[in-house]
């Protein structure tokens, strides 16, 4: 389970960095390799200083900022172009070029992979467990339900106002991963680019900090304090935590550069994610919910 947990954190962090680097490159022309190294460096420093408590507060502020910027983009699209012109543009697209919508086969596959794959990234991701454990029992379940509903609006709005609108208006976009930042630039020029960069920075900081804290927790609590130094003082544990956070943050930057070098993009990592981590979902669920589940059964079940 620890192996699955570490693998999940590595995959999710690499997705965050790849997506962020592509958007930065699209908007500013910054070299993707430099962007892939600078992004983890920023949230690594912030996580080292703040820890889990600070990431709770930062998450809240980040999400509020994302919603405000999304509301601006949605209003501009609606006022500037309206629904009709975008709808007519979508109707004019040749039938053979399938869009990522509910009616297309690639869209259907993406939806299935998304649902199955993301079971893995939630159940096996330490960042969800640590937040649940750090919260009061009465607050945790409500928080996850409300949080899930609130977060759903973000990818849905970005895909609609910055993705579907770009296709309807006939924007010439080479890389599908770059459609949202390029549409933001098309809508409001340099102001749109800055707003998108701020929104991107908020999302990357939020997820990156959570993933870094999660991997530090696994290495320090489950490996260092269990097997290496069970009698470590609080001060010593904090010092090791900071070293692990810094090392992992820098390593993730190098790993993302390597992915770019070998030509592995965001969509491949996203699609492959479920294959790597979903095997642990059912054994983990049975371990929590079924009293007859054994460690041996869970081990071979996940394998």
Residue 170 φ/ψ region, left for φ over 0, alpha for ψ in the -120 to 50 degree band, beta for the rest:
left
- Residue 301 — very low, low, confident or very high, per pLDDT cuts 50/70/90? very high
Q: What is the pLDDT of residues 145-179, one digit of tens each?
A: 888 888 888 888 888 888 888 888 888 777 766 78
Instruction: Judge contact between 281 and 120, C-beta under 8 A.
Output: yes
Q: What is the pLDDT of residues 220-233, one digit of tens each?
A: 989 999 999 888 88
CA distance 16 to 168: 27
pTM of the model: 0.80
Q: What is the pLDDT of residues 31-88, one digit of tens each?
A: 888 988 888 888 888 778 776 666 777 778 888 899 999 999 999 999 988 888 888 8
Instruction: Judge contact between 126 and 215, C-beta under 8 A.
Output: yes
Average pLDDT, rounded, for the chain:
85
- Residue 289 — very low, low, confident or very high, per pLDDT cuts 50/70/90? very high
Q: Please tell me what DSSP assigns to residue 47.
A: H
What is the model's pLDDT at position 99? 58
- Residue 286 — very low, low, confident or very high, per pLDDT cuts 50/70/90? very high
Structure tokens at 276: 């790597």
3-state SS track over 26-46: HHHCCCHHHHHHHHHHHHHHH
Report DSSP letters for 96-142, one per residue.
TS--SSTTSHHHHHHHHHHHHHHHHHHHS-HHHHHHHHHS-HHHHHH
What is the model's pLDDT at position 101? 59
Helix, strand, coil tally for the chain in percent (to 5): 85, 0, 15
What is the model's pLDDT at position 100? 52
Report DSSP letters for 174-233, one per residue.
SSGGGHHHHHHHHHHHHHHHHHHHHHHHHHHHHHHHHHHHHHHHIIIIIIIIIII-TT--
CA distance 118 to 273: 8
Helix axes 2-28 and 126-134, enclosed angle (nearest 10): 100
Q: Strand, coil or helix: what is 92?
A: coil
Instruction: Judge contact between 297 and 285, C-beta under 8 A.
Output: no
pLDDT at 4 over 60: yes
Q: What percent of the chain has pLDDT over 90?
A: 17
């Amino acid at each position: 389970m620890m192996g699955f947990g570490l693998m999940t954190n590595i995959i999710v962090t690499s997705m965050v960095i790849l997506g962020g680097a592509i958007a930065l490159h699209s908007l500013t022309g910054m070299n993707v390799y430099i962007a892939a190294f600078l992004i983890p460096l920023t949230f690594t420093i912030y996580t080292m200083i703040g820890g889990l408590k600070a990431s709770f507060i930062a998450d809240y502020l980040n999400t509020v900022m994302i919603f405000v910027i999304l509301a601006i983009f949605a209003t501009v699209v609606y006022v500037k172009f309206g629904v009709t012109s975008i709808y007519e543009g979508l109707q004019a697209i040749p039938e053979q070029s399938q869009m990522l919508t509910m009616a297309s086969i690639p869209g259907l596959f993406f939806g299935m992979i998304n649902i199955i794959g993301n079971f893995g990234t939630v159940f096996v991701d330490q960042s969800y467990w640590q937040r649940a454990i750090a919260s009061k029992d009465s607050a945790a379940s409500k928080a996850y339900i409300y949080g899930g509903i609130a977060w759903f609006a973000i990818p849905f709005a970005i895909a609609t106002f910055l993705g579907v609108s770009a296709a309807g208006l006939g924007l010439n976009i080479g890389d599908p991963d770059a459609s949202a930042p390029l549409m933001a630039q098309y809508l409001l020029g340099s102001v749109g680019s800055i707003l998108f960069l701020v929104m991107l920075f908020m999302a990357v900081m939020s997820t990156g900090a959570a993933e870094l804290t999660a991997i530090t927790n696994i290495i320090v609590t489950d490996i260092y304090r269990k097997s290496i130094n069970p009698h470590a003082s609080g001060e010593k544990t904090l010092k090791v935590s900071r070293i692990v956070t810094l090392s992992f943050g820098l390593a993730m930057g190098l790993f993302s550069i390597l992915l770019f070098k070998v030509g592995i993009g965001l969509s491949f990592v996203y699609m492959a994610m479920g294959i790597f981590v979903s095997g642990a979902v059912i054994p983990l669920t049975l371990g929590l919910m079924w009293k007859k589940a054994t460690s041996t059964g869970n081990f071979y079940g996940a394998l």
